[in-house]
Chain A
């Protein structure tokens, strides 16, 4: 047994309101650069819907992920290594920009420069790729909230599949529609096919926390990983010629902060925590013959951090005690393995994804309520879960390779929790038969409810900090946040084309400062931050110097000290 730690995420889909805050904050933090305009490390898809890039789940076409060969061994869907090398000069199935969308901006300058006239000037859309006028025809969430579903709904590969396999057609008529949101980031898989496709070996999994990263210095732009990832969560930066992907905000995690998408999630539906898994068994688990057994196989990889055998093996692998402690308190382990309500997305791709989802009960609840039923009673809900085949089959295609029993089981647990808790809230007698009907005790069910409904920040995000041998180096290594003097003019092409030249690594101390700010609970003072306040580490208190343009009043000092401003925000 080789125990390894993996930082994992669980998203509770019932709570997602589809606000895209996570996507936007992630983009602002990581991919607001030229070359990554179309890159969304986090995106939120309306399902049913085509997803991003369009129809990425159609692996017949895109050939992402793994399959089993005749001898039952794992093989990349794109073929053998040799075959991939021979087709390296032009990748056979790489999505083109049209499959994502052509990013654009608006010609705002005309609004300012247009001469006085009878007509209002218009800011025309301009392509960010060609600089020419463009017509906006698609985006990362064009079919948001089922927009255009009556014409395009059938293009969802999952809809296609469910239609093929069941008699009833999924209808996109208003009264009968179900809908939910699916926020997606890189899955930080245990058996990543992006990594396996990379000819240079530039993609790696961190031993300490399982985060999958692209070494920007070793990536040579062979762009095979784009095809390899079945979730299409690795992107090609078309300016630098390198692949980029979600980093699970590792600089934040290392200092104990949750990822940007988790931190800013409006529905507070994301959970971050550790899994312990047996690295020696991953390939075996991913080669499970029956696709519908992959979920169980993946769950079996997850080790119990209270098991003495696991603890001993973990010590052998030098997993620190505070990490073991975090693993015991891990909310993701609890949701995935203890309560068994979190499911992996598309386990049939055989990459062993480490972002898990609690399937949404709300489409069913909503349908019931719309039909005038009591959507909180266990009996009605259980009946509806059985009766509403289409939503269940759809969810099963997403999360359990089509095994409807598994999805039904999870939904029944969620339904039971609803019904059981209603009695508690209304001070009625607890009906212990409800948790028993889904194989849980009342106490466990209440525990699960607490984690799903009222868990606070520290319970939702259990993130042990990184161990550095030389901890003192985490202290300031210099004033890294200074940005005086035209920093916007830099970053042009190096002598050998875009982005050549020396690397500039991510600064940990920035995040140390950020965490200190966030947990300090006091107003920004120039002492604690040594004058280094920017939008990233500003906590909203006070008005630090330089963050805002000086006030217009002639008598107001333009340079008042940070934190002393009486009005706070301006």
Chain B
């Protein structure tokens, strides 16, 4: 069991995560978006989203520092173990709680705001379950470290060495199995999150637009030299109409926006599903 969880799963996770991201990036540029729901609701989003995102960014940085940087290094620059813990736990708790509250608001908003709920896919729901579980388990480890019985071995002696050992392809399974249950749970859920990551909307984090700071404001691009031709299925095109959200029902009739229903061959329009886009 330990071998499976701490020896094999990490590599499966990495393979799926990296492979999935590359594959999705190549295959599904059009689906790679935040799918913002601000058009529907912005009051709660305005509180929840920044709270969550800033929280999670700090958490991510915390993970990188905690997992990658060995204890000896921080000690060498004069950060004592106690100071480190105070910092990590203090900052970690604040960021963790911000993240949790933020995600709580976001989930509450998803559930209670009609339009946002309608726009929530099964994919989103699964993602939220795993994400929230990872955050709660993570926060639990922090809380236990602070208020729980003081343990001799901390994650810097168990999880971190294991994590680093993964990179030299000699997983230190022993170290990880000695970690407390909370840490083990958090690690497993975390790996699960990374497993599904490439297949959810979370991919947007990997196209964080930092290059915006450096690019010129006005972009000229030449029209594609080759005229495009299209056949087959058009993505992004669904008929207007309330029941279109359940695929087994038909469009009831023309709404104010002229529904191309049966017998109304809006073929010309149907082809132009990528109107905003154009040639690349």
Residues of A within 8 A of B (CB): 24, 27-35, 37, 81-82, 84-85, 87-92, 94, 96-97, 103-109, 126-132, 139, 191-192, 195-196, 198-201, 203-209, 211, 213-223, 236-245, 247, 250-251, 254, 279, 282-283, 466, 468-470, 473-474, 477-478, 480-481, 483, 487-510, 534-537, 547, 549
Contacts and interface: CB of A to CB of B under 8 A. Distances in A.
B149 interface: no
Contact of A488 (B123, B219, B260): B260
Contacts of B184: none
A240 B39 CA distance: 13
B191 to A, nearest CB: 20
Given A32-B269, A501-B31, A128 B242 contact: yes
Nearest to B35: A241
Contact of B275 (A30, A92, A94, A139): A30
B28 to A, nearest CB: 5
Contacts of B260: 32, 488
B49 A89 contact: yes
B4 to A, nearest CB: 28
A107 B219 contact: no
Contacts, number: 369
Nearest to B57: A89
Given A96-B42, A199-B212, A247-B275, A215 B229 contact: no
A469 B223 CA distance: 11
Interface SS majority for chain A: loop
A30 B274 CA distance: 9
B235 A504 contact: yes
Interface in B35-77: 35-42, 45-46, 49-50, 52-54
Size band of the interface chain B makes with A: 35 or more
Interface string B247-272: 10001111111111111011111111
B118 A131 contact: yes
B230 A505 contact: yes
Contact of A491 (B29, B236, B258): B236
Contacts of A507: 228-230, 271
Contacts of A480: 229-231, 271
Interface in B203-243: 204, 207, 209-213, 215, 217-223, 225-243
30 contacts: A24-B258, A29-B269, A34-B239, A34-B240, A34-B244, A81-B213, A85-B209, A85-B212, A89-B53, A97-B115, A104-B255, A105-B259, A128-B257, A131-B118, A131-B245, A200-B212, A204-B219, A207-B220, A207-B222, A215-B280, A240-B35, A245-B276, A488-B239, A493-B121, A496-B200, A497-B31, A500-B30, A500-B31, A504-B230, A508-B229
A214 B38 contact: no
Given A32-B257, A236-B36, A500-B31, 5 more contacts: A33-B273, A90-B38, A221-B35, A254-B227, A480-B271
